[in-house]
Amino acid sequence: MKKGMYNEELLLFKDSVKGFLKKEVIPFHELWEKDGIVPKEIWTKAGQNGLLAMTIPEEYGGLGLKDFKYSCVLIEEIAKAGTSGLSFALHNDVAIPYLERYCDEDQKGRWFNKLVTGDIITALAMTEPGGGSDLQNIRTTAEDKGDYFLINGSKTFITNGILGNLIITAVKTDTKEGAKGISLICIEDGMEGFERGRNLKKLGLKAQDTAELFFKNVKVPKKNLLGKEGEGFKYMMENLPQERLVIAAAAISVVEEVIRYTTEYSLERTAFNKPIGQFQNSRFKLAEMKTESEIGRVFIDDCIGLLNQKKLSAVKAAMAKYWTTDLQVKVVDQCLQLYGGYGYMMEYEIARAYIDSRVQTIYGGTNEIMKEIIGRSMGL
């Protein structure tokens, strides 16, 4: 966010986030990348520092914050630090909004306090093998057995798939219906028949656990139905604008940070007896990228304001997600080129940014899907 969007409380929160990352995350992140997962303890430490479930009401131990700028501060600082293993944004800003909107009082009492402390880590299980962005045609079924659902099926590419112990799962409660047959059911760790597959080996985001999930005759009590039966697809569509803004906010932050340190590198690195940044090609490339980052920042800050007013449309969120993530991939690639051979070395942060950025145009709905949404809104 631009400086004008900060007040004193946000600045204090920003300092707190930076301090947490500097002490608890940055020194260990390379090790976590080798391990393929962050330790569960980092979640409870984040909870102790007020970084989880910040929108949960105070009566359940949360901060009751309704200003999305706080989430953006956390998203942006994690992105700038290159600590991509921390999937706090999925927990705070993608999964928890479902729980806040649709949980009944019993569910709030069971889960909300632990969402704040980090004892409950959420995951969102929508994508299926062979399904991709086609959420209407999911095949995981939930058969009504009276006082419980019997769930069978599988999910893949699930962030927090290993650590997550409360899985908001999209299922078909009526296989004869399309979108109207989809419901959301919360599957909890330890339920018989719920199995986790391998921690998937990814191109980037190596410290972020991503797994396959399998459901074999999992008995889930009716009290774990989220909201109303058959309303799941509508709930997912309602929450997608915020999810896509989360991705866009991270994207523009990476763009700004990569340009910053590439500019510094271009002033320090010399070739033919002068800094490489003084060659016209380098100067023009950096000038172009800086201009595009400024354009993107203005757009994202406008979207943040609209979300706070509950006015962010699905179309504008799709524009933000597609444009900023395309920009991220382009900028990181161009900046790596300016590093020359050193840009290919993993000891340089530009190399880590390169492998972490590629997925941005894929998850949260591919950018091709974003363009479909935009095009249809134009009557095309």
- Give the whole-angstrom CA distance, residue 321 versus residue 324: 6
Pair (239, 370) in one structural domain: yes
Pair (261, 373) in one structural domain: yes
Helix 8-20 with 68-81: angle, nearest 10 deg: 40
| Cβ–Cβ < 8 Å for 29, 85 | yes
pLDDT of residue 130: 78
CATH code (residue 13): 1.10.540.10
- Give the whole-angstrom CA distance, residue 59 versus residue 112: 10
Pair (76, 173) in one structural domain: no
Pair (197, 300) in one structural domain: no
For every residue of 38-101, DSSP letters joined together read --THHHHHHHHTT-SSTTS-GGGTS-----HHHHHHHHHHHHHHT-TT--HHIIIIIIHHHHHH
- Give the whole-angstrom CA distance, residue 358 versus residue 89: 18
Q: What is the pLDDT of residues 183-218, one digit of tens each?
A: 999 999 999 999 999 999 999 999 999 999 999 999
| Cβ–Cβ < 8 Å for 167, 125 | yes
Q: What is the pLDDT of residues 9-39, one digit of tens each?
A: 999 999 999 999 999 999 999 999 999 999 9
| Cβ–Cβ < 8 Å for 168, 184 | yes
Pair (200, 78) in one structural domain: no
| Cβ–Cβ < 8 Å for 232, 184 | yes
Pair (157, 203) in one structural domain: yes
Task: Name every residue whose Cβ is closer than 8 Å to that of residue 351 and which is 6 or more positions away in sequence.
Answer: 336, 343, 344, 345
Residue 70: HSE in the Cβ half-sphere, 13 Å Cα cutoff: 18
Of the residues 197, 230, 263, which one is the last residue of a structural domain?
230
Over range 145-170, report the average pLDDT.
97
Q: What is the pLDDT of residues 235-256, one digit of tens each?
A: 999 999 999 999 999 999 999 9
Task: Name every residue whose Cβ is closer than 8 Å to that of residue 201 and which is 6 or more positions away in sequence.
Answer: 36
Total number of domains constituting the chain? 3
Q: What is the pLDDT of residues 70-91, one digit of tens each?
A: 999 999 999 999 999 999 999 9
Pair (16, 111) in one structural domain: yes
| Active-site residue, from 76, 77, 212, 243 | 243
Task: Name every residue whose Cβ is closer than 8 Å to that of residue 120 and which is 6 or more positions away in sequence.
Answer: 111, 114, 165, 166
3 pLDDT band, cuts 50/70/90, is confident
Pair (142, 203) in one structural domain: yes
Instruction: Report the mean per-residue pLDDT for the chain.
Output: 96
Share of the chain above pLDDT 90, in %: 96
pLDDT of residue 289: 98
- Please write down the long-range contacts of 365-372, taking CB distance under 8 Å and 24 or more positions apart: 365/133, 365/240, 365/244, 365/318, 365/321, 366/132, 366/133, 367/321, 367/322, 367/325, 367/326, 369/133, 369/318, 370/244, 370/318, 370/319, 370/321, 370/322, 371/318, 371/322
Question: Would you say residue 274 has pLDDT above 90?
Answer: yes
| Domain boundaries, position 305 | 234-377
Over range 112-126, report the average pLDDT.
98
Pair (223, 249) in one structural domain: no
Question: Would you say residue 131 has pLDDT above 80?
Answer: no
Nearest to 16 by CA among 66, 84, 63: 63
- Name the token pair of 315: 């179309």
Helix (H) or strand (E) holding 369: helix 367-377
- Give me the phi and psi of 365, to 5 degrees please: 100, 120
| Cβ–Cβ < 8 Å for 129, 163 | no
- If one counts every other C-beta atom within 10 angstroms of the C-beta of residue 133, the result is 16
CATH code (residue 344): 1.20.140.10
Question: Would you say residue 4 has pLDDT above 80?
Answer: yes
Of the residues 189, 214, 230, which one is the last residue of a structural domain?
230
- Give the whole-angstrom CA distance, residue 44 versus residue 52: 9
pLDDT of residue 133: 64
Look at residue 353 and give its three-state secondary structure.
helix
Q: What is the pLDDT of residues 316-361, one digit of tens each?
A: 999 999 999 999 999 999 999 999 999 999 999 999 999 999 999 9
Of the residues 202, 230, 258, which one is the last residue of a structural domain?
230
Q: Is 243 an active-site residue?
A: yes
Q: What is the pLDDT of residues 289-319, one digit of tens each?
A: 999 999 999 999 999 999 999 999 999 999 9
Pair (43, 85) in one structural domain: yes
What is this structure's pTM? 0.95
Task: Name every residue whose Cβ is closer than 8 Å to that of residue 99 and which is 6 or more positions away in sequence.
Answer: 107, 111, 112, 115, 122, 168, 226
pLDDT of residue 136: 79
Nearest to 56 by CA among 91, 24, 85: 91
* Alpha-helical segments (H) within 149-279: 232-268
Pair (258, 347) in one structural domain: yes
Pair (170, 270) in one structural domain: no
CATH code (residue 144): 2.40.110.10
